[in-house]
Chains A and B, each alone.
Chain A
Amino acid sequence: MLQLADVKKSFAEPGGGRLPILDLPSFRVAAGEQVVLMGRSGCGKTTLLHVIAGISRPDSGSVTIDGVNVSSLPEATRDRFRASKIGYVFQTFNLLPGFSALENVLLGMSFAARPPEPDRAAHLLERVGLKHRLKHRPSMMSVGEQQRVAVARSLINKPVLLLADEPTANVDTGHQQQIVDLIRETCHEEQVALVLVTHTPEVAKQFERVDSLEQINRAVKPVAVH
């Protein structure tokens, strides 16, 4: 379902050179599979998710999702593809403060050029335990509740792939497990493949497949241990 081949990504340095961030010969995720990516800060986890989502373009190599080479698509097509095929859960939730929980979820549909389905949005919010919070704005919700809205938003367009970038990093330990369970269960129910980035071993150990980005990313220099 997701296939990365020879993906390289680098950023320009102030001195004029290029700083390699990603060098992935291969990375695959099957349909409905749930994968954890681990790695220390700065090893390219977020950049990798951006490249998979089509937010950034790789310098070389290909990113294929559901049979479509996303990295070769023009930007506007890539945006539409992302809206309809990929869900994204951010570390900082990134709910829009001016919109209610229901509107935040519906927002994803607007960009996928789909007619709004308030019933589906309400159902998803009910599924994440926020039936009573539909009209509430993010500022009126707890951190855990905001992340649950973000999960509902990421699934509104029935994506084939969900990318979760350290979704429990800003959630208190009491709610971390709840969020992980929620993401895993809803992905399972909706038959959505999951790539979850975390640096929390307690989260990672619950998954059957855990990949270390430091090992698969050749751009990462090994850390010297003294």
Chain B
Amino acid sequence: MSLWKIAWRSIQQRVLASTLTGISMALGVMLVVVVLTAYAVIKQNFNSGRALPYNMIIGAKGGDLQMVLNTVYYLDKPVENLPYTYYEEFLPKSQRKDGRDGEFSDSVEAAIPVCMGDYYRNFRVIGTTPQFFEDVGPPYKIHYAFSAGENFHQDHYFDAVVGAFAAQQAEIHVGSKLKISHGVEGGHIHDQPFTVVGVLAPTGTPVDRGVFINMEGDFRLDGHVGSRKEVTCVLVRTARIPGMENLPEGSAEELRSLINKGTVARAVMPISEITRFFNRFVDPLLMLFLFLAVLIVIVSGIGILVSIYNSMSERKHEIAVMRALGAGRSTVMRIVLFESILLSLGGGLLGWFTAHSLIAIASPWITSQTGLFVQILQSGAIYELILVPGLILLAALVGFLPALAAYRTDVAKALTATP
């Protein structure tokens, strides 16, 4: 009979205490897995936002973070609008009616307008130009492909393109007619439908959750055409410095400074803002959660120590019998350590499976509520591999004291004591 089996029998013998200890360990590990997964989900989803075909966002004066969350991740509420004429200041004379270069056009390679505020079901509707999906090449690390259909044309006002996830969830395909609403639920539904002409291939970015309509059509919707045309923001690819084409920042700093000195708009570098957001808020918060979760695992480990150690007084006789049958000190010590490992690993694996089962069950809901994609095994799973050796180490540490008590058992004394 192996020592593992002997240890397992000992656990079975104290079924209630062992089960409670195992559950406490399971809860600790479950929490660690959930925090690790949350960390991986948030990081992966926010990192996906770094794959942008532009390097600057120009929006109304307000919070930089809100502008990034709204424009890049379609998460926050839209900020105030900019006059359409301000957007035109980024265009060269070839694209303007008045035949002069816009104020900022020299510093800009491309300027893509974006209008927000409408929804199709729970999905953000983004009014823009076909330029949004143009292939811009390196150093920008994004390429939009169509799994069905094609990009909309500038002069087809009521055409739309849908992101892969939105198309799948809302069962949209090429030819679908979409009536968009002002606000998520209960908002006014515009009579004019948009015809889907293209479905994007999955990109793993927030674009997958978007419904993109021709901005010209957006302007023509009932209630949208006010006294003046407006855009929510302008996505800008700044001009590259000759000889340094691979540096997208190019003349960005200069342009940003110029815009921010003005009274109309604010320029934000999205990548820097995302990095700052992560470093200042997300990372410390997740570290705090992880610290708490690890603390719970350690407390569970101490629970195992207390459980086994308390049982040692009643098991002294049992250990003495094993010793009398020929078990060496190191053998009984190993049996107690194995017991601790079985409890820690068993509880830990139970927690791991429970956590991932819960994640699997909750992932559609999380996606629908937050737009974040959750996989059963996130990339954070690599950190979970540390769990197994970590639990064995913890078990060895907490099992050491009771194992030492087993090692030191006075056989003759324990045998003569009443069992």
Contacts and interface: CB of A to CB of B under 8 A. Distances in A.
Contacts of B6: 107, 110
Interface of B: 1-3, 6, 9-10, 12-13, 317-318, 321-331, 411-412, 415-416, 418-419
A98 B324 contact: no
A5 B415 CA distance: 25
B323 A79 contact: yes
Chain A interface residue number, banded: 20 to 34
B1 A106 contact: yes
Nearest to B12: A98
A53 B325 CA distance: 10
7 contacts: A75-B328, A84-B326, A97-B13, A98-B13, A107-B1, A107-B6, A107-B325
B326 A75 contact: no
Contacts of A99: 9
B415 A90 contact: yes
A55 B415 contact: yes
Given A46-B416, A55-B415, A96-B318, A111 B329 contact: no
B412 A50 contact: yes
A76 B1 contact: no
* Nearest 9 A/B pairs, CB to CB: A83-B326, A98-B13, A111-B326, A79-B328, A111-B327, A98-B9, A94-B321, A110-B1, A82-B326
Interface in A206-225: none
A146 to B, nearest CB: 12
Contacts of B324: 53, 55, 82, 88, 90, 94
Contact of B330 (A55, A76, A96, A97): A76
A96 B323 contact: no
Interface in A40-93: 46-47, 50, 53, 55-56, 75-76, 79-80, 82-84, 88, 90, 92
Contacts of B419: 92, 94
A79 B418 CA distance: 23
Contacts of A112: 326
A103 B13 CA distance: 14
Nearest to B327: A111
- Residue from the set B323, B327, B411 with the largest chain A CB neighbour count within 10 Å: B327
B326 A76 contact: no
Interface in A100-158: 103, 106-112, 116, 153, 157
A56 B412 CA distance: 7
Nearest to A157: B326
Given A76-B329, A79-B328, A112-B326, A103 B1 contact: yes
A110 B13 CA distance: 19
A94 B325 CA distance: 10
- Residue from the set B12, B412, B416 with the largest chain A CB neighbour count within 10 Å: B412
A80 B412 CA distance: 17
Nearest to A99: B9
Contacts of A56: 411-412
A8 B418 CA distance: 26
A76 B327 CA distance: 9
Given A97-B13, A99-B9, A55 B323 contact: yes
A96 to B, nearest CB: 6
A119 to B, nearest CB: 15
Given A46-B416, A55-B412, A96-B322, 16 more contacts: A46-B415, A55-B411, A56-B411, A75-B328, A80-B328, A82-B324, A90-B415, A92-B419, A94-B317, A94-B419, A98-B9, A99-B9, A107-B322, A107-B325, A108-B325, A111-B327
Contact of B327 (A83, A92, A97): A83
B392 to A, nearest CB: 23
Nearest to B326: A83
Contacts of A96: 9, 318, 321-322
A108 B323 CA distance: 10
Contacts of B9: 96, 98-99, 103
B415 A111 contact: no
B326 A80 contact: yes
A88 B323 CA distance: 11
Contacts of A109: 1
A153 B153 CA distance: 89
A90 B416 CA distance: 10
- Residue from the set B1, B2, B12 with the largest chain A CB neighbour count within 10 Å: B1
